[in-house]
Amino acid sequence: MSYSIAKCDSGITLLGLTNFDAAQIFDCGQCFRFNAVSDGTSDIAGIARGRYLRVHTDGQSVSLVGACEDDFHSLWETFLSLDTDYAAVDDEITSAFDTILGREDEVIRRAIKRGSGIRILRQQPWEALISFIISQNNNIPRIKKIISALCEAYGEPIDTPDGVMHTFPTPDAIAGAGVDGIFALKTGFRAKYIIDAANRVLCGECDLDALAKPSVSAEDSAAQLMKINGVGPKVAACVNLFGLSKISAFPVDVWIKRVLARHYPEGLDYTRIGRYAGIAQQYLFYNERWE
C-alpha cells in the first residue's frame, strides 16, 4: 500500500496509490458536501474539516490541488483514510464472509471488486451526526441541498478557488437558529431532531469527542447517540462509521436489506463480520445501489 508524495505545480501528487477512486469515494453516499467541479476537469471538490479540498485524478496518480505537505499530514491523509491498507482489509472481509457462510462467497468478492476504490472518509463527528439525521427518509439530491443551505445560512464563509464556500455550522450556531430557523431550510420534521442534537452536544450530555475514543465500543457509542431524538440504529451506525472511526459499525438501510434478501436468502449474520464490517457494508451498498 506504499505510495509516495511529491510536490507538483498545482499542489501535491500521490504516486502509486491503490484502492483509491475519488468518484466512488465521494459518490457512495457517505459524504454530502463534495461535488464535481464544473470546469471540464473531472476534479471533485468540497469543504471538510473547515478547509477546501480538491482532488484531481490523472491516470495512475491522484493529486490534491492547492494542498501543501503540511495540509496533507495534518488533515487529508487522515480524512481520506490513506493510512489504512485496504488490500489487507479486503482479504480479511473475504475470509470473514467465507467463515460465516461456510462456503466461498462470490457476492462479497464481486462487491469488493466493483467498489475497490472506496475508502471510508473520516469526517467530523458533529457533521456526520447532523448529516445522517437529515438523511432519514430522504434522497441524496435533497440531502445535499439541505446541508448546503444549512452551511450557507449558519456556517462561516471561506474563500476558495471555486468561489466562496462555507464551513459546517457549529452546534452553537445551529442551536441559535432554533427550530424555526432550521425548519425554514426545508428540513421538515427533522428540524426538531437537529435542534435536540445541538442542545445535547452543547450541554455535554452527548460528548462526541469522548465517543470517538477507540476504547468506546460501537455498541456503547450507538446507545449514547440514540438518546438524541431522531437518532435510531441506522443513523447511529452511520455516525459511528463515518464520523467516529468505528469501522465495525454496519448500518442497515433499505439497500442493505435488499442485498440481504436478494443475495443472502439463507441469512447472513453480519454481526460476525468483525472489525471491518462497515467497509464491507459500503462495498455491498455500492454494488447494489449502482448495479
Q: Which residues bind DNA (CB under 7 A)?
A: 28-30, 135-142, 183, 186-190, 226, 228-236, 238, 251, 253-255, 285, 289
Q: Which amino acid is at 143?
A: I
What is residue 260's three-state secondary structure?
A: helix
Tell me how far, at minimum, the Cβ of 218 lies from DNA, in Å. 14
Tell me how far, at minimum, the Cβ of 194 lies from DNA, in Å. 12
What is the DSSP track for 276-291? THHHHHHHHHHHHHT-
Cα gap 189→218, rounded to integer Å: 27
What is residue 254's three-state secondary structure?
A: helix
Please say which residue, 227 or 272, places its beta carbon nearer to DNA.
227
Residue 83 C-alpha cell reads as 493510512
Tell me how far, at minimum, the Cβ of 139 lies from DNA, in Å. 4
Cα gap 43→245, rounded to integer Å: 26
Return the residue matching grid coordinates 432550521. Answer: 182
Tell me how far, at minimum, the Cβ of 8 lies from DNA, in Å. 31
Please say which residue, 186 or 272, places its beta carbon nearer to DNA.
186
Give strand pairing partners of 13: 6, 63
Please say which residue, 72 or 242, places its beta carbon nearer to DNA.
242
Q: Which H helix or E strand runs over 5?
A: strand 4-7
Please say which residue, 64 or 253, places its beta carbon nearer to DNA.
253
- Which active-site residues does the annotation give? 234
Residue 49 C-alpha cell reads as 474539516
